[in-house]
Structure 1
Amino acid sequence: MDLSKEWYRSEFVNQEMLEQHRVIETEYTFYDAIANGNIEYVQDNCINQTFTNPDGMGKLSEDKLQNIRYHFVVTTAMITRYCVHAGMEQEQAYSLSDFYILKMDKCRTIDQISRLHDTMCLDFCSRMNELKRRQILSKPIVLCLNYIYSHIHYRITIKELAEYLSLSESYLSKLFLKEMGIPLSHYITDLKIEKAKNLLQYSDYSIVEIANYFSFASQSHFIQVFQKKTGITPYKYRIMYFRTNWEAPKKSES
């Protein structure tokens, strides 16, 4: 199939209409910011809604919604490869890419795709930020973080971690505070709350099920800790954010 004539006509029309793509260095800067874990830069980019700004956005489809879908896939693919090149484990990066593209496929509006784009970019960026931090951490703290991450749904104690690392509890606590800037127990609680927020937003699990899953002493204890960390109860958080990035039927709160 010879498309050369059609291409030359398209090129002529674009030049006549002064349609130009964004400067490529702008895109590279954004991808680099994500790969380097520059959360502040990425947040500013999202706040400015650069992704959906029509100025310089290539036309990949005559349909505006489909055009955004294509751009989302391209952006996700580029971010994935930048992050792998910068050190993210390849399988994790590609799994994240697949996850967000599948979620995007369920979106029904440009606004939903835009918000999912921001979530995706900040997720990759936060993971890269954590990766960069770990690269300058001592081996015991890296092992400690890995253990916490893989056992987050259990009740994790400092004693348990110290025994796992063959360190004293006091030494581990001081080392963790020095390198992470936060007490070990606070880090564990914060991570549990972040994971709980994800389940409240993206799953149908009840509050008591989530409390049990993360081994809180009781549902009331979970609610108390959650409210202290976020300023609102788990129930109110779910009402505000439940599946806000794509359309799906809500399940009544139990």
Structure 2
Amino acid sequence: MNVKKELRNLLAKQQEEEYFHISLEEEFAFYRDIASGNPDILQGDIANQNWEHMGTLSANPLQNMKYHHVILIAMITRFCIEGGLEPEQSFTLSDLLIRKVDQCTSQEELAGIKVKAVTAFTNAMHELRQGKALSYHVRHGIDYIVKHMSHPLSSREVAAALGLHPEYLSKLFKKETGYTLQQYILHKKCETSCYMLKNSTISCTDISSFLGFASCSHYIRCFHREYGVTPGQYRRNEDLTDYSRH
């Protein structure tokens, strides 16, 4: 295959038809708007925004739109991470959305996924912008918790990893996140379990074991306290538009 020759022919054809791709600045401006967390951008026609002149990636119209949705979600994810959104949260949401794109059977369904993606990431960034900046110790504590999510973590272990007294670190967490250190550990474990509940058929017992809960009943109590529903109810009823509130 002579790629250079094919490229020249395609460029010539596009010149004849006066077809040009969307400018890089216009495309990036869309991603920056989302990463800014400005809720005003959710008032427009999100489903049809920024699609003109996006290029042909497949001769199949539905497959072509799927490819573009995957690119869209991947780019939004990286702009939001650059803007300060937690990487693990961002990539997991991205994976979830892309799997939903893969399952779509119509362009209408895809349009709905685009709206959910833009809404979820914009809301998450809005909450991040509204919140207070976290201190060095709290940020590193959160990073340690996320990286050791499957361990039966304790406040003492996290504090020891940072070279701090557990009581001191717990007070910092309470001041900056609203959770004590131990409460935050459970909060993040429950949050992580949300992804597992919606993207797998793993039982609640196995999820609780994987995340290091003392027992399945302990996991269910913590989850209910966090979200007001049981894990089973969440698995049946969770909506992506509510993601950023978890």
TM > 0.5 fold call: yes
Distance 1:211 1:187 in 2: 16
The amino acid across from 2:204 in the alignment is I
Question: Counterparts in 2 of 1:179-198, with a 5 A limit?
Answer: 179-198=176-195
Change (3 A) 1:27 1:154: same
2:149 is the counterpart of 1:152 = yes
| Residue number among 12, 17, 24 corresponding to 1:10 in the alignment | 17
Distance 1:98 1:187 in 2: 24
Distance 1:158 1:208 in 2: 24
Gaps of 5+ in 1: 15-19, 244-254
2:16 is the counterpart of 1:33 = no
The amino acid across from 1:109 in the alignment is S
What is the aligned partner in structure 2 of residue 53 from structure 1?
48
The amino acid across from 2:39 in the alignment is Y
Deviations 1:134-188 (A, max 9, x none): 9x53332222111111112222222222222232222112222223343222222
Deviations 1:81-134 (A, max 9, x none): 6457657899x9899878865663443333543454456553598489769989
Which structure is higher in helix share?
2
2:116 is the counterpart of 1:109 = no
Moved more, 98-107 or 165-174: 98-107
Gaps of 5+ in 2: 1-7, 241-246
2:185 is the counterpart of 1:178 = no
* TM-score normalised over the length of structure 1: 0.65
What is the aligned partner in structure 2 of residue 236 from structure 1?
233
What is the aligned partner in structure 2 of residue 208 from structure 1?
205
Asked whether the 8 Å contact 2:174–2:180 carries over to 1, the reply is yes
What is the aligned partner in structure 2 of residue 249 from structure 1?
none
RMSD of equivalent CA atoms: 4.6
Asked whether the 8 Å contact 1:226–1:233 carries over to 2, the reply is yes
Q: CA deviation at 1:202?
A: 0.4
Q: Number of residues paired by the alignment?
A: 230
* TM-score normalised over the length of structure 2: 0.67
Distance 2:80 2:126 in 1: 7
